[in-house]
Structure 1
Amino acid sequence: MMMDELGTETQQKRLPNYLLDAAGISIERMPMLNVIFDRMAASCTDSLQPMAGTPCYFSVSGISNGRVGDIIKEYEGNALAAVLYAEQWDARVLIMLDRDFVFTMVEALFGSDGAEPPIDVERAFSNIELRLVHVLFERFAKALQSAFAATADVTFRLERVETAMASLAIGRSGNMSICANIMLQALYRGGQMFLIIPHSVLNPLRQKLAHVVVSDGRAADPNWREQMESEVQRTEVTLNAVLDERMITLDDVAKFHVGQVLELDATPRTLARLESNNQVLFWCQIGQLDGYYAMQVADPVDQKREFVDDILSR
């Protein structure tokens, strides 16, 4: 075979790849992207659970294609952004947090109960807010790294945090990118996180992203599972039985005196709430056994119903 024929054959083999690159990333043809972003959202939820005094939930609300410059320009002066560097790819991706996201996380992490109205003032971010967001970006980078683990061996390093969107140069502003919108829900409010990954980063991963990988296929360690079950079953928990509650004023509390009797609306037939860690578990009947007060489980608690009733009561 002559050299020109070899060159023609090579070009023909590469032509489909060139066409795919020119066409960009089709989200519908990359179902693994949805899995990766869902995993990142779940990892963010788990990562912040020990830090926040209130539950914080992350969920993917949408994935779209767009030009990097257009996405960034829309949030000029209204967001904080982090540039993450992926050494294995020699590329950068962006994570942007809008103003509502930042203020909600600050309140959640500093113990707010959501009673105060959300901040609705256009102002610069404070040093405390910037430092806290820096910690959040580091956790989000690890969450993204974990989400990609089944698809690519990549490490994301927080390169810098920017308040000026014009400084977020990760390529030409006209370059196409994938933008995942991840919603935050906490304190009966929320915010938005935007994860921006250029097409040029994902193009080499097209084949892997075209197939959903549920797990890495490794078998569970039976010894580890048995030890985990044993430790969980031996964990000690504190149970509280609540027969009745009543609302009183601080003035009434100040007038308490020794020997005073506080009347309750409960009767011997009233069901008591069995709680652990402020979580209602069961409704119980009160009785006696061998000279001690005892609780007999009557009905399990409908957690969803209790949650709705608690919201309505507020």
Structure 2
Amino acid sequence: MSGTQNANDIRDMLLDSAGLSLDRLPMLHVIFDRMTTSCAEHLRHMAASPMYYSLSGLESGRITEILEMYEANAVAGIFHAPEWDSHILIGFDRDFIYTMVEVLFGSDGSEPPVEEARGFSTIELRMAQTLFEQVAKALQASFALVADTKFKLERIETRMDFAVIGRRNNQAVAAKFLLQALNRGGEMFVVIPQSVLNPMRKVLSRVVSGESSGRDPRWMKQIATEVKKTEVTLKAVLEERFLSLGEIADLKVGDVIELQATPRSRVKLEGNQQGLFWCNIGQSEGTYVLKVDELIDQEKEFLDDVLPR
């Protein structure tokens, strides 16, 4: 028994020193993709302004190296995972906090972003605590794919050297998320010790078909909704005339340009310099209106322009 235990300890030590190959853990990407979708859903219900939330990358390294770049520039929540007998860390950088404060308090983004390097206020820390709890629930639900565990917030730290989740030189995996709102944004990061993931390597190495945020119906619905909100300028073209530069230079006030169009001529409806529909023009209550008659065949239009008539 002791021999087997020693062998396992030596194996874990070798794995910890070598670091995980993230490319061989596709389920880890799926978990954080699902977490991204869940966080986006929660944040959208909390704020009136549109926000965009995305997974920007996964990386592995020593805990001290990962947290070093956030020193004096982030707030971190330390969570205990009882089932794993370990701790994880969730953090928001300064820009993330400032952006969320503006969004939640109804800013329209007209004022320049805050760039002051100062300590976090009580309001900012309370907001961070609320967000930590929401993110932890999203992470817990996402990890349910491979392991059930709860994440309990133990404390909040603003100094990364006090954000202890294990030995500083131990290996860990960091997932980074990008928040964009009000023409500004910030970063959220999740740090999980490699010793927690090692026992789940076999499960995390599985490839599950269809488990990606790109196929998540809620994510697809969100994208479709935002795309439909895009404003497009339409242009109604009655007729186009081609004039030489000399003819245009000779034009003066009072000149008349003859058109071949008649009241029965169809009008081309364009968007972004692309023909969309053929329409009939008419009048209704004293204004001109267009009635869509036919979808423009792009291939036919191209051939008509290229082939000699």
Interval containing the TM-score (normalised by the shorter chain): 0.5 to 0.7
Flag the 1:119–1:155 CA change in 2: closer, same or farther, 3 A: same
Cα distance in 2 for residues equivalent to 1:133 and 1:19: 37
- Shift in Å, 1:74: 2.0
Alignment map for 1:231-242 (pairs within 5 Å): none
What is the aligned partner in structure 2 of residue 80 from structure 1?
Answer: 75
Gaps of 5+ in 2: 212-280, 285-289, 296-309
1:60–1:183 contact (8 Å) kept in structure 2: yes
Cα distance in 1 for residues equivalent to 2:3 and 2:154: 43
Query: Is 1:210 aligned to residue 205 of structure 2?
Result: yes
Alignment map for 1:35-184 (pairs within 5 Å): 35-184=30-179
Flag the 1:94–1:113 CA change in 2: closer, same or farther, 3 A: same
Deviation by residue 1:265-295 (Cα, 9 ceiling, x = unmatched): xxxxxxxxxxxxxxxxxxxx9998xxxxxx9
Cα distance in 2 for residues equivalent to 1:140 and 1:17: 29
What is the aligned partner in structure 2 of residue 187 from structure 1?
Answer: 182
Flag the 1:67–1:14 CA change in 2: closer, same or farther, 3 A: closer
Flag the 1:297–1:184 CA change in 2: closer, same or farther, 3 A: farther
2:19–2:61 contact (8 Å) kept in structure 1: no
What is the aligned partner in structure 1 of residue 193 from structure 2?
Answer: 198
Opposite residue 197 of structure 1, the aligned amino acid is I
Deviation by residue 1:168-221 (Cα, 9 ceiling, x = unmatched): 1111100010011111111111111111111000000000000133579xxxxx
Runs of 4 or more off by more than 2 Å in structure 1?
6-24, 212-216, 285-288, 295-300
Opposite residue 84 of structure 2, the aligned amino acid is W
Opposite residue 162 of structure 1, the aligned amino acid is E
Opposite residue 117 of structure 1, the aligned amino acid is P
Cα distance in 2 for residues equivalent to 1:10 and 1:165: 34
TM-score (normalizing by structure 2) = 0.65
1:178–1:199 contact (8 Å) kept in structure 2: yes
Match of 2:21 among 20, 23, 26: 26
Cα distance in 1 for residues equivalent to 2:71 and 2:201: 31
Flag the 1:8–1:158 CA change in 2: closer, same or farther, 3 A: closer
Flag the 1:49–1:10 CA change in 2: closer, same or farther, 3 A: closer
2:12–2:198 contact (8 Å) kept in structure 1: no
Cα distance in 1 for residues equivalent to 2:66 and 2:12: 27
What is the aligned partner in structure 1 of residue 248 from structure 2?
Answer: none
TM-score (normalizing by structure 1) = 0.64
Opposite residue 27 of structure 1, the aligned amino acid is L
1:83–1:92 contact (8 Å) kept in structure 2: yes
| Count of aligned positions | 230
1:150–1:215 contact (8 Å) kept in structure 2: no
- Shift in Å, 1:38: 1.1
Cα distance in 2 for residues equivalent to 1:22 and 1:32: 22
Flag the 1:76–1:11 CA change in 2: closer, same or farther, 3 A: closer
Opposite residue 151 of structure 1, the aligned amino acid is V
- Shift in Å, 1:110: 1.1
Cα distance in 2 for residues equivalent to 1:178 and 1:32: 14
1:53–1:110 contact (8 Å) kept in structure 2: no
Segment of structure 1 superposing worse, 14-23 or 151-160: 14-23
Opposite residue 194 of structure 2, the aligned amino acid is H
Structure 1 vs Structure 2 CA RMSD: 3.5
- Shift in Å, 1:299: 11
Percent identical pairs in the alignment equals: 49
Gaps of 5+ in 1: 1-5, 217-284, 289-294, 301-314
Deviation by residue 1:32-54 (Cα, 9 ceiling, x = unmatched): 11111111111110011111111
3-state SS in 2 of match to 1:88: helix
Cα distance in 1 for residues equivalent to 2:2 and 2:119: 59
